[in-house]
Amino acid sequence: MKKITIIIAIFIATGISAQTKYQIGMQKAFSLWENGNNKEASQLFERITKAEPENWLPAYYAANVEISDSFGIKDEAVLKAKLTKAQNFLDTAKSNSENNPEILITQAFLNLSYIAFDGQKYGMTLGSVNNQLYAKALAIAEKNPRVILANAEWNMGSAKFFGKSTKPYCKEIKRSIALSKEEKNDIEFYPEFMLLRAEQVLKQCQG
């Protein structure tokens, strides 16, 4: 029994040592983000971005942390500082991966934060920009479940704003869920489909 325990310990230690600094760093950054340590997560993603200058994913996630953290900010100067930082991360990600649908919908997510802060000031201009971003992302990856969900949710928001029914978008949300179950990707740390989020949006759609 003692020998088996030692063998298992050696196996685990070997597995840990086989991980690259990139893998360890990304896992730690995700853990920080998951536990609500957004500032530390963003900083770590930023350090990984500098260490992996040709990899779009660390900058992509750094942008997402900043954008997610921006909703609810009341001071416009603080909002702009945070979203400018997020935009810089997104620009870095774009430089390493052109016409990437994941980056395109994240750009729309960033724009949405401005719109949510002040719809009268930002809604007209950034609203049309977002329509273009989603159209482009769908043209590139029409079966990408994250793109389909994000586009449907954006259209639902517009429908609610203009007092229209959101039910026409239920089908698209259901389609995104179905496609997510078929999706296969071998790229490590590639964005995953948020099933729980999709189910929550679907309930709003049917309500």
| Spatial CB neighbours of 136, under 8 Å, sequence gap ≥ 6 | 99, 104
Domain over 15-137 is classified CATH 1.20.950: no
Per-domain residue ranges of the chain: 15-137, 142-207
- What's the rounded mean pLDDT across residues 173-194? 93
Tokens standing for residue 85: 């930082």
What tens digit of pLDDT does each residue of 5-59 get? 444 444 444 444 578 999 999 999 999 999 999 999 999 999 999 999 999 999 9
Rounded distance, CA 107 to CA 102, Å?
9
Tokens standing for residue 58: 């660390």
Q: Which carries the bigger pLDDT value, residue 89 or residue 163? A: 89
- pLDDT band for position 204 (cuts 50, 70, 90): confident
Rounded distance, CA 163 to CA 186, Å?
42
What tens digit of pLDDT does each residue of 131-181 get? 999 999 999 999 999 999 999 999 999 898 888 989 889 999 999 999 999
What pLDDT does residue 3 have?
47
